[in-house]
A and B are shown apart, each in its own frame.
Chain A
Amino acid sequence: MPHSALSRRSVLTSAGFIAGAAALSACGNSGTTASKTPVKAKTGTLTIMSVQGEITPAEVAAFEKAHPGVKIKQINTDPTRLNAMLAAGNPPDVVRDAGTDVTPYIASRGIALNLDEYFAQSTVLKESDILPINNVWKWNGTAQGKGSRYGIAKDWSQDSMWWYNSDMWSAAGLKAPDPSQPITYDELADAAKKLTKTSGGKTSVYGLFTTTASMNRIGAMAATAGGRILSEDLGTADFTSPEAIAALTWLVDVAKAKTGYSLINPSPDWDGPEYVAGKQATSGQGYWFGGFLGSTAKAYQSKTVFAAAPMLGKKRVSPSFGAVGYWIPAKASNPGAAFQFIEWYCGGAGAHDRIAAGNGLPSLKSMLSLLPQTTAFDKAAFKVQSDELAYVDVLGNATPYAQTTALDTTIAKAFTAAVGSGTSVAKLADQLTKDVNAVLANGKKLAGK
């Protein structure tokens, strides 16, 4: 029976998915401290700083129903307000953030609560069930990816992966790549040239997704060639290595070619709206983008293909640029209830619908089977994602000495100036190394190092 055959395949794929994840999880185990003090949740108001509208009123109502006496108060994500609240010693109970970017900074400064005891006592977020991507939320005092847990992803994706419009791809005379096998960045740039439609200086279709020169992007590209930007102690940066130069060269070339949005030609929006409006032939988003298409442009699913992260060199690495989730400030007034919310939203009933809709990968292995596998689109995306999962890694692009925003702002200034003036990539690399190291040096000085 076709139905049962398909189901069997799905089950087998899921099994492979989970087995791979389990193997990686074992490699990334941190050995958290044993539980000592029982975690208690107080009743009352639970203040969550998150992106407006992300936690829906229905989810709030469901959480409050499951946790009588706790009332959620949401405040919109606002770094300025968060800083002011932290400085005043009156922070929110839960903060939404990108684990890849913030963990070293918030953990090393004692701003975030060490959640080892909370995880140790949790019956929802069990250590053995947590996917290794959540290692980005770990910090041991010197390195990201090891040590104590300071947060967990609500859902996540491998953000170097990409999607393409198969109709546009074939209309441009391009041979469809095997989605599970990574193409090279050069192949991608060549394809983008053929996909881009320009007339009279106006571009009606960009072939390439938005490529912003940032720590995450440059670091991820360099990693596929076996390089890294930050030193092991996270105190200095080097953009002059051959791997970083190769990444910068590619980013400068595609920015100059204007085959996609970049820092010198910033997008009026993110990839999603541009892609579904037919203005972009590709979208540089991870797995969650399939869920976005499902909820906003379902018709696009039939002509959209999910593909493995491209490579600059020979090493297959496919990181997350966010692993967006939650952390609890050290001075939160109700950390017990805050963790209850994190359990519920990241691994409990609150995560169920989001994961089942394909809006990102779950934080728990046990929830992987919830990912949509009904339609041909779902199955294809699931298969590609399953294969890709083995290549997730913590890149160490964040540092305790500066926020990633500071590093990205520094990169943006130098990158746009260099591309605008025609400066060579070698000089740009020197400039970036000098400027980013100045920011890091200032942070180290403040940290007394």
Chain B
Amino acid sequence: MRPHRPRGAEPAGRRRLGRSRSEALAFYGFVSPWVIGTALLTLFPVGYAVYLSFTAWDGISPVKPWVGLDNYHEVLTSGDTMASLTKTLLLVAIIVPTTIIGSLLLAVLLNEKVRGRTVFRTLIYIPAIVPPVAASLIWKVAFDQNSGAVNRFLRMFGVTAVSWLTGSRAFVVLIVVLLWSIGAGIIIFLAALQTVPAEQLEAVKLDGGGPLTAFRHVTLPVISPVLLFQTVLVTITTLQTFVPVLLLSPLSDHGMQDVYTNIPNANRVYMVDVYQQFFAYSRYGYGSAMLTVFFLVIVALTAVIFKVAGRTVFYAVDPNAPAKEG
């Protein structure tokens, strides 16, 4: 007969086992919504898209003709697709350094103890909280050839009204719109700047170093992980630019047709091309191949950034060190 054991009097080993099991159950319970969500809403769609990329599906027909690597061959050899990819990479080459350097410099300025600092911070951050749709539409109105504020301003200097939203100038407007939300980066850099140890800055000063020396040898290393994070984030979001292009284009209530025909060639970036392949040309297979290639481009670019940054990023805590037991 097993002896009666009062509640809470289990042997220590079994108690530990029970606790670790319940902890494990709690862990899986908490993460399962995300695991299931990721599996259903990310892994399955991505897998399905990869499958479609080997077909010539038109989006409607019940059959999905298998074409092997034909779509990939076309993606890599199509002049139109390569042109849109080049345009997108050009956009990244302009937006990423401008955003990172610009927001970092402004953050450093706003970190100085100057009068009205809070007001400046607020003013610079406001554009970041304006929804992208509203921001794009504001710029679209401002750059309108016949009634926009930009041309009205230029006219004061005798400049003839410019058609900003068409032709190659549309690319300039797109860059302005993308740079408009630089405030979000400033806030992140401002937060990072607060972590720079004052005593280290003081030490540089005592050693006779100037502000530039302090920035280069203390501030930059301390905020370098944030710099890396921002670079990766801005690169990925710029590569995926789509909505601002759509919103800057003249779209009437003629319906979706305008989305395909009224986007200036200058702004036909990669995601616009993908969208048109799917929905104007009904080339779901080719569009999926474009997305798969694009995914690989993003992964490669991110890997390059990490590789380059790996030599320069300074971690106060070793990111590879094992977590401490609580």
Contact = CB atoms under 8 A, between A and B. Distances in A.
Interface of A: 51, 77, 79-80, 83-84, 86-87, 89, 109, 111, 200-204, 212, 214, 263-270, 402-403, 405-406, 408-409, 411-413, 416-417, 420, 439, 442, 445-446
B59 A201 contact: no
Contacts, number: 97
B265 interface: yes
B281 to A, nearest CB: 5
B265 A416 contact: yes
- Pick the 8 closest A-B CB pairs, nearest first: A201-B161, A201-B160, A412-B261, A266-B250, A409-B260, A83-B59, A409-B280, A266-B262
Given A264-B167, A403-B282, A445-B56, 10 more contacts: A83-B60, A87-B62, A201-B161, A265-B163, A267-B252, A268-B250, A269-B252, A408-B257, A411-B261, A446-B56
Given A200-B161, A405-B257, A264 B166 contact: yes
Interface in B129-146: 144-146
B257 A86 contact: no
B160 A200 contact: yes
Given A86-B60, A109-B60, A269 B281 contact: no
B319 to A, nearest CB: 42
A265 B167 CA distance: 9
B252 A409 contact: no
A87 B161 contact: no
Nearest to B159: A201
Interface residues of B, number: 42
Most chain A CB atoms below 10 A, which of B59, B161, B276, B281: B281
Nearest to A405: B280
Given A79-B279, A83-B60, A268-B250, A412 B151 contact: no
B161 to A, nearest CB: 3
B145 A263 contact: no
Most chain B CB atoms below 10 A, which of A109, A263, A409, A439: A409
A212 B282 contact: no
Nearest to A266: B250
B77 interface: no
B265 A417 contact: yes
Interface in B33-73: 56, 58-62, 65
B288 to A, nearest CB: 14
A414 to B, nearest CB: 10
Nearest to B165: A266
Contacts of B62: 87, 89
Interface in B257-290: 257-258, 260-262, 264-265, 268, 276, 278-283
Given A87-B60, A200-B155, A269-B252, A420 B161 contact: no
B132 to A, nearest CB: 20
Contacts of B282: 83, 402-403, 406
B162 A266 contact: no
A80 B265 contact: no
Nearest to A446: B56
B177 to A, nearest CB: 17
A267 B250 contact: yes
Nearest to A270: B252
B256 A405 contact: yes
Contacts of B280: 403, 405-406, 409
B281 A409 contact: yes
B24 to A, nearest CB: 39
Contacts of A267: 250, 252
Contact of B258 (A264, A266, A442): A266
A402 B253 CA distance: 23
Nearest to B285: A446
Contacts of B322: none
Nearest to B276: A409
B249 interface: yes
Given A83-B60, A405-B260, A446 B253 contact: no
Interface string B228-255: 0000000000000000000001101111
A86 B282 CA distance: 13
A266 B257 CA distance: 12
Nearest to A87: B60
A408 B254 CA distance: 14
A420 B166 CA distance: 10
Nearest to A202: B161
A376 B161 CA distance: 41
Interface in B145-201: 145-146, 151, 155, 160-163, 166-168
21 contacts: A84-B59, A86-B60, A201-B151, A201-B161, A201-B162, A202-B146, A202-B161, A267-B250, A268-B144, A268-B250, A402-B281, A403-B282, A406-B281, A406-B282, A408-B261, A416-B265, A417-B265, A420-B265, A442-B283, A446-B56, A446-B65
Contacts of A445: 56
Given A268-B144, A270-B254, A409 B59 contact: no
B105 to A, nearest CB: 35
A35 B296 CA distance: 57
Contacts of A412: 260-262
A126 B265 CA distance: 48
